[in-house]
Structure 1
Amino acid sequence: MTSHLRRGIVAASLSLAALLGVATSAAGGEFESYGDVSDDHRAVSLHVRETEGDARRNETIPAGERLFEYMRTVACREAAGMWVIGNPDGTCPAGIDAAGQAACEGDSIVLPMWRRERATPASPWGNWVQIDVGGCGADLLPELTAEDFRRLPIPAPVLTLQPDRGWVLVNKETVVMTDPTPATLTTNLLGYDIQVEATPTTFTYDFGDGTAPLVTTSPGHAWPDHDTAHVYGSPGTTSITLTTTWSGRYLIEGTTQWRDVDGTAQTTTTSTPFTIEERTSRLVAQLCSATPRPPDC
């Protein structure tokens, strides 16, 4: 049995078992990690994408100030059965076997990641510790999560009312509509430029009078072809709030495959307050458009 760990602290003497897909720490101690931790806290399987991200972020720190160093190379099995770090060129010393690699079906092979650390920039480096078991090239590509998607500045679509004159009539339809155009944004994850396409999928209108919101997949249309409207039953002052739900997909720099975001985002648009008025008609002696305005208008 395992429990999930994301950026947690593991403080244990971890056993090395590269072929079983677990990370190890010969020296023990504390380190930050992603992955699955065994119930006895003696093994942790780390994710290639996350350790690669840590290594990339570490490179932004001046070399003399770094407390960690990262390197991808093979895991080599000594005669005593211990797994140790291979040479920087990805080979093992003579007479020592390398761990088997994943079958990547034409994709590039990603060697295991190793890391060593020191307490301060003036301290000596500790031993190299394997923190992931490698994988395939696709494993290195970042994932745009739902949380990442929601943090993007998706522009809230414009809310249009008909009539739009500062007041509407009781018992008459107030038409609402919006712009369904997808939004294109860019972001950066783990050093990769990401193109994101956000598409509005659901529109929820709260008409501000206590009635149930209107939930629709239609962006609406102008009168007389409208399909999204509301009838107010009594006078007052209110505003309309549109909540738009967006789905997303993204394209990673250097790839051709669009990937769907596993989750949605929302934006909110609120109209300017307006009055709901009740008006009656009556006969008048003159045109109400006359100047000055007739007293019976």
Structure 2
Amino acid sequence: MTDSVTLHPALYVVATPIGHLDDISMRATRVLQGVNVCCAEDTRHSKRLLDHLNARPKLVSLHEHNERDRTGFILSLLRDDQSVALISDAGTPLISDPGYHLVKAVAEAGYTVHPIPGPSAVITALSVSGLPTDRWVFEGFLPAKTGARQKRLQTLARDTRTLVFYESSHRILDSLNDMKTVFGSERPITLARELTKTFETVLRGTLEEVVAQVESDSNQQKGEFVLVVGGTTDEPEDFGLDPRKLAETLGPLMPPKQAAAAMVELIGGRKKQWYELITGLDKGTP
């Protein structure tokens, strides 16, 4: 793509500000000023941004309830040599937002999909979290109900990577307390609230400390949240399992590939290594 506002027919996936309008990039501005059509989750919300940028594309709604139906229409626009932008209400599209089905369909139809990078609440929160960022995982929103939420957290409790979540104001305390229950009160967390907006706050500490701060200050329970949680630093438990004895136990109970996979889950190592051990037992290998 050139610096000209004349754009060739393609889908442009455009990141928009998560709060502060000055965070829009020059390239994103030119694209939104130059496309024929702009797909947005909430057209009324996005019109304010487009007016601020003096951009006048035709606005088309595209959200989780109509994305599949809209996809055919967007493909017809591309066939008619129209240029189309995809934006979300804030940040980078597709990150806990609609757009996956559209992007997939456009790419499979042979049209170009251009990424126009910019703000992302996930990356913004990670950058100021003070927690390790070399290995991390984004989990999006946790389940709404306590039981399902704690079950999801249990699957992440032994993960050594930094964990990143989105959360809303009406569930923030429940989610924090569930994290405290499952991860333990000493697990480090950074709570980033209303990033780049007027009332931006970043709280750092243990889950015990941050929960106490949020419980004692109702202002810290309002807005949009990104939770960055440190991964576990606990050493894996050693159950004293002897690989050969385990292979001798599992071998007769299930196929070799399945038994090897179970050994990986129980004691680590490589599946191929345990497969060879198990099949070797069948052949009388010492």
TM interval, short-chain normalised? under 0.3
Higher share of residues assigned helix: 2
Higher share of residues assigned strand: 1
Instruction: Compare CA radii of gyration and give the structure with the larger one.
Output: 1
